[in-house]
Amino acid sequence: MKYPDGQSIRLGDKVRIGEDSGGIVVCSIDTNEYSEEYPKAEWASLNRGVLIKFPLYGLIHYEEEPDGDLVLIGRAKK
């Protein structure tokens, strides 16, 4: 899955949507990457997409490419 600007969405990326700039990618089902807090055993059943946890908006599952208001703020540290 990709951001609107064409970059790949990766586990641990920090993102912004609307007024909430504290989003963290917690699962990338498409690439089989899961955080400790959101393990594969609990979330792989979604089959595709990414999960992003926002302080203001909560947990959002993007099954399709996100619309233009999802912005990458910073890449995850490896």
Q: Is the pLDDT of residue 39 over 90?
A: yes
Kindly state the average pLDDT of the residues 3-20: 93
The residue ranges of every structural domain in the chain are 14-73
Neighbours of 31 (CB within 10 A): 13
Report the pLDDT value the prediction gives residue 19, as an integer from 0 to 100. 87
Model-wide pTM > 0.85: yes
CA 19 – CA 30 distance, rounded (Å): 27
CA 50 – CA 59 distance, rounded (Å): 10
Q: Which of 4, 38, 7 is nearest to 61 (CA)?
A: 38
Report pLDDT digits (tens) over 43-71: 999 999 999 999 999 999 999 988 888 99
Distance of CA 70 to the CA centre of its chain: 10
